[in-house]
Structure 1
Amino acid sequence: MRFHEGQVIDGFTLESRMPSGGMASLWRAHHPDVEVPVLLKIPFLDPGQDVSTVIGYEVEELILKRLSGPHVPRYIGSGDLAQTPYIALEFVEGESLARIAKNAPLSPKDVARIGAEVAAALASLHQQQVAHLDLKPENVILAARGAVLLDFGLSRHAGLPDLLSEESDVPMGSAAFIAPEQVLGDRSDPASDIFALGGILYLLATGEPPFDWPSTRAGMKRRLYHAPKPPSACNPKVPAWLETIILKCLEVDRERRYADAVRVAFDLRNPEQLVIAEPQPQRRWWDRLLAAFQKRDDHLLTGAPTAHRSQAGPALILAAVDLADRADPLANAVLAETGRLLAARVDARLVCLTVLKTEILREDVTADSTGRSVYIKRLVSLKAWASPLGLAEERISYHVVQAVSAADAILHFAEHNQIGHIVLGARGASALRRHLGSVSSKVVAEAGCSVTVVRNSSSA
Structure 2
Amino acid sequence: MRWRVNPGMVIDGFELRENLGTGGMAQLWAVSREDDPAPLIMKIPMLIDSDDPLPIVCFETEQMIMPRLSGPHVPRFVATGPLDPMPYIVMERIPGASLKSRLDEAPLPWSEVAAIGAKVAHALHDLHRQHVIHLDIKPSNVMIRDTGEAVLIDYGFSRHEYLPDLLAEEFREPFGTTPYMAPEQVLQDRADPRSDLFALGVMMYVFVTGERPFGNPRGGEIRRRLWRDPVPPRALNPDCPRWLQEVILRCLEVDPDERYATAALLALDLENPEQVRLTERAERLERDGGVKTFRRWLKARKAQPLETPDIAGHLSRAPIILAAIDLSPGNEDLAEALRRMVGRILSIEGEARIACVNVLKTSRIAVDILEDQDGNSLHVQRLVQLRHWGVSLDIPQERITCSVLEAPDPAAALVDYARRNNVDHIVIGARASSALRRYLGSVSSQVVAEAPCSVTVVRTPKDRRAENGQDASA
Q: Could you state the TM-score of these two structures normalised by the residue count of structure 1?
A: 0.63
5+ unaligned residues in a row in structure 2: which ranges?
Answer: 309-474
Tell me by how many angstroms 1:285 deviates.
5.6
Identity of aligned residues (%): 46
Aligned residues: 304
Pick closer, same or farther for the CA change 1:53–1:277 going to 2, 3 Å.
same
User: In the alignment, which residue of structure 2 is the partner of 1:273?
Assistant: 275
User: In the alignment, which residue of structure 1 is the partner of 2:186?
Assistant: 183
Which structure carries more helix by proportion?
A: 2
Q: Partners of 1:75 and 1:38 in 2: how far apart?
A: 10
Q: Partners of 1:283 and 1:230 in 2: how far apart?
A: 7
Pick closer, same or farther for the CA change 1:286–1:7 going to 2, 3 Å.
closer
User: In the alignment, which residue of structure 1 is the partner of 2:449?
Assistant: none
Whether the aligned pair in 2 keeps the contact of 1:95 and 1:143 (CA below 8 Å) is no
Whether the aligned pair in 1 keeps the contact of 2:227 and 2:297 (CA below 8 Å) is no
User: In the alignment, which residue of structure 1 is the partner of 2:204?
Assistant: 201
Q: Partners of 2:227 and 2:172 in 1: how far apart?
A: 21
The 5-angstrom pairing of residues 33-432 of structure 1 reads 33-45=35-47, 48=50, 50-145=52-147, 146-216=149-219, 218-279=220-281, 287-288=291-292, 291=295, 294=298, 296-299=300-303, 304-305=306-307
Tell me by how many angstroms 1:266 deviates.
1.1
Tell me by how many angstroms 1:290 deviates.
5.2
SS at match of 1:262: helix
5+ unaligned residues in a row in structure 1: which ranges?
Answer: 307-460
SS at match of 1:95: coil
Report the aligned-residue RMSD. Answer: 2.2
Pick closer, same or farther for the CA change 1:211–1:16 going to 2, 3 Å.
same
User: In structure 2, what residue type is equivalent to 1:154?
Assistant: F
User: In structure 2, what residue type is equivalent to 1:116?
Assistant: A
Q: Partners of 2:216 and 2:66 in 1: how far apart?
A: 29
Pick closer, same or farther for the CA change 1:82–1:233 going to 2, 3 Å.
same
Whether the aligned pair in 2 keeps the contact of 1:299 and 1:305 (CA below 8 Å) is no
Q: Partners of 2:290 and 2:13 in 1: how far apart?
A: 68
Whether the aligned pair in 2 keeps the contact of 1:183 and 1:221 (CA below 8 Å) is yes
User: In the alignment, which residue of structure 2 is the partner of 1:2?
Assistant: 4
Q: Partners of 1:57 and 1:18 in 2: how far apart?
A: 18
User: In structure 1, what residue type is equivalent to 2:175?
Assistant: M
Q: Partners of 2:227 and 2:151 in 1: how far apart?
A: 33
Pick closer, same or farther for the CA change 1:32–1:18 going to 2, 3 Å.
same
Q: Partners of 1:255 and 1:270 in 2: how far apart?
A: 22
Tell me by how many angstroms 1:296 deviates.
4.1
Tell me by how many angstroms 1:291 deviates.
3.5
Pick closer, same or farther for the CA change 1:181–1:290 going to 2, 3 Å.
closer
Q: Where does structure 1 differ by over 6 angstroms across 4 or more consecutive aligned residues?
A: 280-284
Q: Partners of 2:291 and 2:60 in 1: how far apart?
A: 48
User: In structure 1, what residue type is equivalent to 2:161?
Assistant: A
Whether the aligned pair in 1 keeps the contact of 2:65 and 2:155 (CA below 8 Å) is yes
Whether the aligned pair in 1 keeps the contact of 2:63 and 2:89 (CA below 8 Å) is yes
User: In the alignment, which residue of structure 1 is the partner of 2:13?
Assistant: 11
Question: What is the CA deviation profile of residues 10-46 of structure 1, one whole-angstrom value per residue up to 9, with x for unaligned ones?
Answer: 0000000012201011000001122311100011147
User: In structure 2, what residue type is equivalent to 1:12?
Assistant: F
Q: Could you state the TM-score of these two structures normalised by the residue count of structure 2?
A: 0.61
User: In the alignment, which residue of structure 1 is the partner of 2:407?
Assistant: none
Q: Partners of 2:234 and 2:82 in 1: how far apart?
A: 51
Pick closer, same or farther for the CA change 1:256–1:295 going to 2, 3 Å.
closer
SS at match of 1:29: strand
Whether the aligned pair in 1 keeps the contact of 2:228 and 2:293 (CA below 8 Å) is no
Question: What is the CA deviation profile of residues 97-131 of structure 1, one whole-angstrom value per residue up to 9, with x for unaligned ones?
Answer: 00012210011110011111111110110000000
Q: Partners of 2:231 and 2:255 in 1: how far apart?
A: 17
Whether the aligned pair in 1 keeps the contact of 2:234 and 2:241 (CA below 8 Å) is yes
SS at match of 1:37: strand
User: In the alignment, which residue of structure 1 is the partner of 2:353?
Assistant: none
Tell me by how many angstroms 1:170 deviates.
0.4
User: In structure 2, what residue type is equivalent to 1:5?
Assistant: P
Q: Partners of 2:289 and 2:269 in 1: how far apart?
A: 34
SS at match of 2:258: coil
User: In the alignment, which residue of structure 2 is the partner of 1:320?
Assistant: none
SS at match of 1:181: helix
Whether the aligned pair in 1 keeps the contact of 2:183 and 2:225 (CA below 8 Å) is yes
- Indicate the structure whose relative CO is greater, using CA pairs within 8 Å and at least 6 residues apart: 1
